Amino acid sequence: MEIIQRDGFYYLTNSFRKQGTVINRKKYLGKEIPRNLEEIKQQFLEQCFQEDIFQKLNKIKKNYTKEWKSLPESIKKKRLIQFSIDLTYNSNAIEGSTITKEETEDIIERNLSPHKALSDVQETVNHSKVFFKVIQEKRAFSEKVLLEWHKELFGQTKQDIAGIYREYLVRVGNYRAPDWQDVPKLMKDHFWYYKENEKIVHPLELAAIMHYEFEKIHPFGDGNGRIGRLLMNYILYNSHFPLAIIEVKKRRQYYRALEKGRIAFITYFLRTYLKRYEDYL
């Protein structure tokens, strides 16, 4: 998505592919760039996506749900365990864990511990436990729920930060997170946004927005990425969509999308998700 100027007027443009053809859409902005440009971008993006991507996403949900309902309970359990292994490995590896995919499988499925740092092993065990807690969660997303997830993930390895918001400044690469004194207010707004939009915004878009905004707030001393990715799956699971994994081998694209801003991240997430589940189309 970009802004172009022609004959003294500004336009917002977006290009996307539909059935092998590149579709170009343009929105008139006026002689000056509006102050509420981000809001206009969001609305324009939704209009473009609704023409094609949201239709495909809803088709994925329909076909996935039909398949899932037909599966025996033992197969459903097996698939969720395998997803837990894949998610745990990739999410922890993005954050620097030394545990391999095979070791993750041994830890979660066979209760076998490799000769690796005890903290990495424990956080592998805990991440899988929290994943199952997340998808079984019947309560609405709230501060209490979020802090419980974080405490269970780090309660045995980082007791001094587990289940509490940070009270110090943090920097992630070149990004400086908001002042810690602003975190409680920012998180309150975060929960409010979810409550106000969970029945309005498309679940895939909502999952992307909630993850993006959560990472920008960076409310915890550690584990923001892992909790943020679990949050995405909380939204998807409760909306009956297939779950999502950010693969460690593609973390650079993931980080770049986060750095480029909210619209770029939503676009990245939806397109990555579509590619992962294109078989359901």
- pLDDT above 80 (res 51): no
For tokens 């000769």, the residue is: 115
Instruction: Give the predicted TM-score (pTM) of the model.
Output: 0.84
The whole-angstrom separation of Cα 145 and Cα 140 is: 8
> Is pLDDT above 90 for 41?
no
Residue 46, domain member (yes or no): no
Structure tokens given for 4: 């172009």
Q: How far is CA 69 from the centre of its chain?
A: 25
In a domain, 7, yes or no: no
255-280 pLDDT tens trace:
999 999 998 899 899 999 999 999 99
| pLDDT band at 49; cut points 50, 70, 90 | low
For residue 24, being part of any structural domain is answered with no
Question: Among 31-35, 93-97, 192-196, 266-270, which stretch is predicted with the lowest mean pLDDT?
Answer: 31-35
Residue 20 confidence (pLDDT): 66
Tell me the pLDDT tens digit for each residue of 133-157. Answer: 999 999 999 999 999 999 999 999 9
pLDDT of the residue at 9: 86
Identify the three-state secondary structure at position 102.
Answer: helix
Residue 51 has which token pair?
């023409």
The tally of domains found in the chain comes to 1
Q: Is 35 helix (H, G, I), strand (E, B) or coil?
A: coil
* Residue span of the structural domain in which 263 resides: 71-280
Cβ atoms of residues 44 and 27 within 8 Å: yes
Within-domain flag for 162: yes
168-201 pLDDT, tens digit each: 999 988 899 999 999 999 999 999 999 999 998 8
* CA gap 82, 238 in Å, rounded: 19
CATH code, 102: 1.10.3290.10
Domain membership of residue 3 (yes or no) is: no
- Percentage, residues of the chain above pLDDT 70: 97
Is residue 49 assigned to a domain?
Answer: no
| The pLDDT of residue 18 | 64
The answer to whether the CB of 232 falls within 8 A of the CB of 238 is no
- Token duo for residue 28: 């008139």
Does residue 39 lie in a domain region? no
